A and B are shown apart, each in its own frame.
Chain A
Amino acid sequence: MKSSAPDTAAKTELPERITRLAWVLVLVGILLYGAGYIIDAKRSAFNNVIGFLFLASVAGGSIFLVALEYLAGAVWSVPMRRVNEFLAALSLVVPLLAVPLLFHLHDLFHWTHPEAVEADKILTGKAPYLNANFFIIRFLVVFFLWNLFSFIFVRNSAKQDLTKDPKLTSINIRLAAGFMPVFAITITLTAIDWAMSLEPHWFSTIFGVYYFSGTVLAALSAATVIIINLHEHGYLPNLRRDHFYSLGALLFAFINFWAYIAFSQFLLIWYANLPEETFWFMSRWKNGWEYVSILLIIVHFVVPYFALLTQDSKMDPKRLKLMSIWILFAHLFDLYWLVMPTYGEGIPLGWMEIGYPVLVVGLVMVVLSYKVKRNNLVPVGDPKLERGLSFRL
């Protein structure tokens, strides 16, 4: 088969209006963000956690997907890998979103109040882990590692565009093998620190995996939306329905994985019926939250499951794009469900909840348009590229 790689090798620029829209979204997001902190710092901080975890999902999940491709020796995803690499660059931006949170730890985390920890045996026992200094150290280490790995992955991949050296691929494969355990630990730490420790008395050993399943979904659907949009506007012309099918199949698999993990977590706690575990679900099953919980099952599992069930629906780029946007929203909703019951009894929903998603979407688009300008859209030097382009099911 003939390769048409040279056609897509050129560095491209996204249309001006995309870049402009991205900056408008960022500005609007920052305005809402600032206004939120002035009017109601506590509520804004909780929303900030959701926004932070959402962007961390996209960034961390994208590094994971890049590493996964190298480690599994996947061929079909090579022509699309650059999009994941661009999104992995978000791991530089994510810590910025956490900076305001570091000044509001008292509003968020019960365990940062020394008098509460002293009066509480359980919190005293957890204090060696749950204390502000160690928390910030973990936060810095996690993002240092993510940035380190994504930087090396992307640099090797970009170098390969010029040198076409297959050795760089094998270096990245070895790096990916090292990254996997690091990622497993860091994603678990992120989930425990920022989401689980909001309820410091509660614990669930599967919680890290739960967040991980949403992470991969978010990264995968973000990449799918971008890939299909690029394809529709002629930037990635060589993609076929075989590629789209593979993206859709992976999305479908992780939709099921999320449901599997979410139900496992629920089933064990429901079965054992121990008050120190059940209260977490109880607070999501009263004062109107029961409807939110049921809605989450429908939005995050039932709808995407049936929408992506058939072979045709995974091959149809339009349907796939719609479902990817849906799943991004579902992950946001999932984080809302994880974080917000700790904020208060009611179901807070207003303009403050809109601010962070707007900012996050804007940041993703800004990073993307910046990266697209400076990098090839397709890894032209990758030895697997030709096989990836001629990939058939």
Chain B
Amino acid sequence: MKEKSLYSLTALFDTPDEIIHAAERASKTGYTRFDINTPYPVHGMDRAMRLKPSRLGIFALVFGLLGAFSAVGFMTWVTLVDYPLVIGGKPFWSWPAFVPVAFEVTVLLASVLSVVTMIVLYFRFPNNAHPLHDTPYMKNVSSDKFGISIQADDPIFDEHEVREFLRNVGGKSVAPVYLDLSDLNHGQKLFDPKFLGVLAVTAIVVSAVTYIIFNKVLYMDPFTWMSAQEKLKAQNPSGLFADGIGMRPPVPGTVARGFLPYALKGKPDDAGKYLVNPLLPTKDVLERGKSRYLTFCSPCHGNFGRGDSRLQGQFPNPPTLISDKIRNWPDGSIFHLITEGQNIMPSYASQVSRDDRWAIVHYLRVLERAQNPKESDLK
């Protein structure tokens, strides 16, 4: 059994001027609970209806401030408390970097939450029914007519008087709209299990189909900028060899070029005695030695071998290389030291090739000679 009561009286107009006039008259007569429905926005309607400015702006302000404070607060917590990290030598709390993020979060929260507020507070979510829906009135005002609807809960509503009023302002097809109490909030249930079930199934099916179509059926290799090539790569399998391993061990009994094992391991004295620098101190060799020295040696021993690099004081001090002791060492001992390391200095055999080590020895001799020149050099 449906229970019906009067919701409002409606009337239709043909032109925007008429509807503005009707709205002005309605608010002048003292009606407060009435609404205007038009097929497109009619300018000046707010003032004609004497509407107060919407309070949605206040909500937007609150949500915006919430976004700004939570973004700044979160970044403050991250950079000061949770994970302080020096970035680009700047202070932990570098506010200019927060501004873009805070701005975006402010806009995001203000807009999204304002829409949610509008739906919940003004549209009475989850209610999705309105008495004006599905009426001839709504069909007209959503095509080419302009409508006014004066609600029955207006304090000065009187059915007879309102009919008179609507006719006086020139309204056509004055008609009542009834409120079906059993329909309101109950007609279409939003949280109906069947509805939610269909919604969930639809979501799953749509995402699964999308996934299959785009990732399986229509999948195309993106342009890989030559990163995928048909060649052997370290640590990767390869079908070329019977055992399926890409990396090959050397053939038994052979030594790869440039990888001759160091024969004098742990024998510094022998190295000093028997090893001879195989390179001649030509300009090219010295240039090479200089470049290797500046890359690998100078960080500790200093650019001129004086042991005065910027590590001084932070580390056990690296020794000078131009002392009498080292000047009197044979080339082989220096080569051995670079190869094997000593005390805190590690072996450089893996970073610096054999020839480069010998080139460094030559360059070191240059540094020593330059800082302790012989009489004949100064002439």
Residues of A within 8 A of B (CB): 263, 266-267, 270-271, 273, 311, 392-393
Nearest chain B CB to A223 CB, angstrom units: 24
Docked CA distance A392–B43 (Å): 6
A-chain residues with CB within 8 Å of residue B88 when the two chains form the complex: 271, 273
Say if the beta carbon of B155 comes within 8 Å of chain A.
Answer: no
Residues of B within 8 A of A (CB): 43-44, 53, 88-90, 96-97, 99-100
B-chain residues with CB within 8 Å of residue A392 when the two chains form the complex: 43-44
Are A267 and B44 in contact, CB atoms less than 8 angstroms apart? no
- CB-nearest residue of chain B relative to A266? B96
Are B97 and A271 in contact, CB atoms less than 8 angstroms apart? yes
B-chain residues with CB within 8 Å of residue A270 when the two chains form the complex: 96
Q: Can you list 19 A-B contacts with CB-CB less than 8 angstroms, sorted by A residue number?
A: A263-B96, A263-B99, A266-B96, A267-B96, A267-B97, A267-B99, A267-B100, A270-B96, A271-B88, A271-B96, A271-B97, A273-B88, A273-B89, A273-B90, A311-B53, A392-B43, A392-B44, A393-B43, A393-B44
Docked CA distance A393–B42 (Å): 9
Apart from A267-B96, A271-B97, what are 11 other A-B pairs with CB-CB below 8 Å? A266-B96, A267-B97, A267-B100, A271-B88, A271-B96, A273-B89, A273-B90, A311-B53, A392-B43, A393-B43, A393-B44
Nearest chain B CB to A32 CB, angstrom units: 40
- CB-nearest residue of chain B relative to A264? B100
List the 5 shortest-distance A-B pairs measured between CB atoms, nearest first.
Answer: A392-B43, A392-B44, A270-B96, A267-B96, A273-B88
- CB-nearest residue of chain B relative to A273? B88
Nearest chain A CB to B96 CB, angstrom units: 5
- CB-nearest residue of chain B relative to A392? B43
Docked CA distance A311–B99 (Å): 26
Docked CA distance A27–B89 (Å): 55
Nearest chain A CB to B147 CB, angstrom units: 21
Docked CA distance A267–B96 (Å): 7
- CB-nearest residue of chain B relative to A311? B53
Docked CA distance A271–B53 (Å): 42
A-chain residues with CB within 8 Å of residue B99 when the two chains form the complex: 263, 267
Docked CA distance A68–B124 (Å): 43
A-chain residues with CB within 8 Å of residue B89 when the two chains form the complex: 273
Nearest chain A CB to B71 CB, angstrom units: 16
Docked CA distance A393–B44 (Å): 7
Docked CA distance A151–B88 (Å): 52
A-chain residues with CB within 8 Å of residue B97 when the two chains form the complex: 267, 271
Docked CA distance A270–B94 (Å): 10
A-chain residues with CB within 8 Å of residue B96 when the two chains form the complex: 263, 266-267, 270-271
Docked CA distance A273–B94 (Å): 13
Docked CA distance A393–B96 (Å): 37
- CB-nearest residue of chain B relative to A393? B43
Docked CA distance A267–B102 (Å): 14
- CB-nearest residue of chain A relative to B89? A273
Nearest chain B CB to A75 CB, angstrom units: 11
B-chain residues with CB within 8 Å of residue A393 when the two chains form the complex: 43-44
Nearest chain B CB to A41 CB, angstrom units: 39
Docked CA distance A393–B90 (Å): 48
Nearest chain A CB to B40 CB, angstrom units: 14
Docked CA distance A393–B97 (Å): 38
Docked CA distance A266–B88 (Å): 16
- CB-nearest residue of chain A relative to B43? A392
Nearest chain B CB to A156 CB, angstrom units: 30
Docked CA distance A298–B96 (Å): 17
- CB-nearest residue of chain A relative to B44? A392
Nearest chain B CB to A307 CB, angstrom units: 17
Docked CA distance A263–B88 (Å): 19
Nearest chain B CB to A57 CB, angstrom units: 27
Nearest chain B CB to A241 CB, angstrom units: 10
B-chain residues with CB within 8 Å of residue A311 when the two chains form the complex: 53
- CB-nearest residue of chain B relative to A312? B53
Docked CA distance A271–B94 (Å): 10
Docked CA distance A273–B91 (Å): 13
B-chain residues with CB within 8 Å of residue A267 when the two chains form the complex: 96-97, 99-100
Docked CA distance A392–B46 (Å): 11
Docked CA distance A119–B222 (Å): 51
A-chain residues with CB within 8 Å of residue B100 when the two chains form the complex: 267
B-chain residues with CB within 8 Å of residue A263 when the two chains form the complex: 96, 99
B-chain residues with CB within 8 Å of residue A271 when the two chains form the complex: 88, 96-97
Nearest chain B CB to A312 CB, angstrom units: 9
Docked CA distance A266–B96 (Å): 9
Docked CA distance A367–B53 (Å): 42
Docked CA distance A273–B97 (Å): 13
